[in-house]
Amino acid sequence: MRIGIHSGPVLSGVIGKIRKRFCLVGHTVNCASRMESGGIPGRIQVSSSTHALLQHCTEFQWESRGPIEVKGLGTMTPYLLVALDNQAVDILFPQDGITDALL
């Protein structure tokens, strides 16, 4: 499992005439999707905008992945959550050898 988070504005609403669905769309949704798909299994990856919003939260400890190319978005600098309340994240998200799953 990978978790990717990006913060920003979204458009939301019900789409469709026959099968109505509530959807979120926009750049923010695309960035969050790229943070997840480009992340590391068992880790939480956030964009620099989410990282900036969480800087005052001292219980989170982050590690920069450095600049990386993100498909369709250019260069971004994502951050990995490495500790929460001084507890290593790999303890919170143990790795059991499974890197991909079919649901």
Domain boundaries, given as residue ranges, for the chain: 3-92
Residues 6+ apart with CB under 8 A from 33: 4
Query: Which of the following is catalytic: 17, 19, 21, 71?
Result: 71
Q: Is 18 helix (H, G, I), strand (E, B) or coil?
A: coil
d(CA 37, CA 67): 16
Structure tokens at 41: 């299994």
**Quick check: 32 and 73 in contact, CB under 8 A?**
no
Q: How far apart are CA 87 and CA 92, in angstroms?
A: 8
**Residue 71 annotated as catalytic:** yes
Note the helical H segments in the chain.
27-37, 48-53, 89-92
51-89: pLDDT as tens digits: 999 989 888 999 999 998 888 889 999 999 998 887 777
pTM greater than 0.85: no
Q: Residues for the chain: how many in total?
A: 103
What pLDDT is attached to residue 25? 92
CATH number for the domain whose boundaries are 3-92: 3.30.70.1230
**Does the active-site annotation cover 17?**
no
